[in-house]
């Protein structure tokens, strides 16, 4: 059976804080097999890990850009903007 993304999201929310419902309990309540819920949870955790890796890359790039901006401003303060030659 195919489930919509919205349904999957709603069911997964029941299994994480603050609800913390067990897979067995959720399976019985929702009429979805435990195996399906384990697969959904595994896929959701993998997606979260990928998003966390992407966020770390972006945070690093942002920090590097900020450091370059600070260096640029310091260089400009010391040597001027270079447009006066």
Q: Per-domain residue ranges for the chain?
A: 5-78
3-state SS assignment for residue 32 = coil
pLDDT in tens, 37-56: 999 999 999 999 999 999 99
pLDDT in tens, 10-37: 999 999 999 999 999 999 999 999 999 9
3-state SS assignment for residue 70 = helix
3-state SS assignment for residue 36 = helix
Distance CA 26, CA 54 (A): 31
pTM above 0.75, yes or no: no
Token duo for residue 3? 């489930």
Chain mean position to CA 26: 24
**Number of alpha carbons in the 13 Å side-chain half-sphere of residue 8:** 14
Alpha-carbon torsion, ordered 46, 49, 51, 55, to 10 deg? -170
């Amino acid at each position: 059976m195919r489930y919509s993304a919205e349904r999957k999201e709603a069911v997964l929310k029941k299994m994480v804080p603050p609800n913390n419902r067990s897979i067995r309990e959720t399976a019985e309540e929702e009429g979805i097999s435990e195996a399906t819920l384990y697969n959904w949870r595994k896929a959701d955790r993998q997606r979260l890990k990928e998003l966390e890796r992407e966020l770390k890359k972006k945070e690093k790039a942002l920090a590097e850009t900020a450091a370059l901006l600070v260096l640029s401003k310091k260089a400009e303060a010391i040597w001027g903007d270079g447009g006066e030659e």
